[in-house]
Amino acid sequence: MNLDLIVEIVNSKLIEMKKTPLNTTEVIVFRGIWENQTYSQIAQKNAYSPGYLSNIVAPQLWKRLSKLIGEQVTKKNCRISIEDYVKNRIGSELRLQIEFARDNREIQVDTLPPYPSGPLSSDSPFYIERDPTEKLICQEIRKPGTLIRIKAPQEMGKTSLLLKTLDYAQNLGYQTVTLNLEQTDRAILNDLNRLLRWICANISRQLKFEPNLDEYWDDDIGSSISCTLYLQEHILQRIQSPLVLAFDRLNRIFEYPQIAKDFLPLLRSWYEEANKIDLWKKLRQIIVHSTEIYVPLQLKQSPFNIGLPIQLNDFNQEQIKQLAKKYNLNWKGDREVKKLMETIGGHPAMVQITLYYISRGQASLAEIIEDACTLNGIYSHYLQRHQACLEEQPELAAAFNDVINANEPIQLEPTVAYKLVSMGLIELNNNKAKVRYKLNSQYFKQNFKNI
């Protein structure tokens, strides 16, 4: 049976159950396993780390598919189980409907919006510009040796903005490299030498250079200087145009404080090299993170007090109205927008999902808000993901419970506070925490007994 059809049927049934369809990475794993590839083969083909796919993506995928078909799905039985489900249990009617839709995709593409999952491409019609933020970034990226810091909680559009920025840089004739620390194995993040070699190897491969790491690595001068010399002599000397080096999900390094204390000052030193060596003016750095750094650093070592700081906030009313128009919704005035924002604020990812369901005629705004805090609601994936995270980290759960039950903002231990900010569960004002969004408050007041 055609694999594309299988994926569309699975996603159609998930949407019917008011669950989120398979995201991009889940589809990559699903396709790879369907074609009898190992996690290592899938990772190598798609530029992911094997550990990230096998330990994080795959278990969640098998859990979701198991719930969908009502029996346990594993790596070994995935293809047989899903084919049996499609052939024998959902009937031919849905298959025919989806096959017809695929045959007529050219007609439907302009009328049915895609399910919003993951970062938006730079040319997506559903991308909302963040002026004047984007203009500032475009001006800054042209400056020699610059550094741009993009910060916001999860699912606020950081990676979408990064993709937009990299597309702009490429149009200027710059070369670009993106390093996503979420895709890095724990063993690499626990070892500074391995991390720096991983960075250099990835930069080389993305630029289509031979790595030749051993020619530059010298134990006597240390990995930090070896990495710097490699970047200077093997990369910057060989390219004619500026290089934009982007670190996405940089906050992952905060979880390894001993490594962070050496790695983060290194990023700052590359920025400072541009003041001394013309060659380093070719380098532009972008660092993307979801929370404040909670690793102690001296001010002169930190990369978080230099360059252009960018803080991404919720969509405002006008931006939500713009997006509703892109989904062909005729929202006159501010009534619908205000009603939505009372529950989820202007959270970009949840706003996108809300407008998607309404535009498809699958639910009204009133129905979505009524079911918002239930596992039948369209935000269930967002809520369950946070609940699972809190279950795994009792210290965070206890602190968040204190915030929920407090009558006014309270002070939390800094590391805990920053992690909850990163998740998007709280916001800080004068270092005091309060719950972010009515949705979070209502759901977790009801469900903390299960944590």
Q: What is the pLDDT along the chain (451 residues), one digit of tens a residue?
A: 568 778 878 887 887 787 778 877 888 899 899 988 998 888 777 767 777 788 888 998 999 999 999 999 999 999 999 988 887 766 555 555 555 555 444 434 445 677 787 788 888 899 999 989 999 999 999 999 999 999 999 889 999 999 999 999 999 999 999 999 988 889 999 999 999 999 999 999 999 999 999 999 999 999 999 999 999 999 999 999 999 999 999 999 998 999 999 999 999 999 999 989 999 999 999 999 988 787 788 888 899 999 999 999 999 999 999 999 999 998 888 999 999 999 999 999 999 999 999 998 888 999 999 999 987 788 988 888 888 889 889 999 999 999 999 999 999 999 899 999 989 999 999 999 999 999 999 999 988 876 6
Measure the CA–CA gap between 396 and 433, rounded to whole angstroms: 13
What is the reported pLDDT for 8?
79
Which pLDDT score, from 0 to 100, does residue 375 have?
77
CA dihedral (119, 347, 288, 41) in degrees, to 10, reads: -30
SS3 308: strand
Q: Where are the domains of the chain?
A: 3-108, 133-311, 317-370, 381-450
Closest to 347 in 3D by CA, of 438, 441, 247: 438
CA dist list (Å): 66 to 23, 30, 60, 62, 293: 16, 13, 10, 6, 38
Q: How far is CA 277 from the centre of its chain?
A: 34
| DSSP three-state, residue 309 | strand
pLDDT (0 to 100) of residue 182: 87
- Structure tokens that stand for 365 in this block: 């705004």
pLDDT of residue 3: 80
Question: What is the CB-side half-sphere exposure of residue 28 using CA atoms within 13 A?
Answer: 19
pTM given for the model: 0.81
Q: Which residues are registered as beta bridge partners of 176?
A: 244
Distance set, CA 29 to CA 121, 183, 325, 346 (Å): 21, 14, 34, 32
Relative to beta strand 147-151, strand 283-289 is: parallel
Report the number of secondary-structure helices (H) and strands (E) in the chain.
Answer: 22, 8
The highest-level CATH class for domain 133-311 is alpha beta
CA–CA distance, 346 with 11 (Å, rounded to integer): 26
Return d(Cα 180, Cα 165) in angstroms, integer. 16
Phi/psi of residue 246, each to 5°? -110, 130
Distance CA 153, CA 157 (A): 9
DSSP, residue by residue, 50-112: HHHIIIIIHHHHHHHHHHHHTS---TTTHHHHHHHHHHHTSHHHHHHHHHHHHHTHHHHTTTS
Say how many residues make up the chain.
451
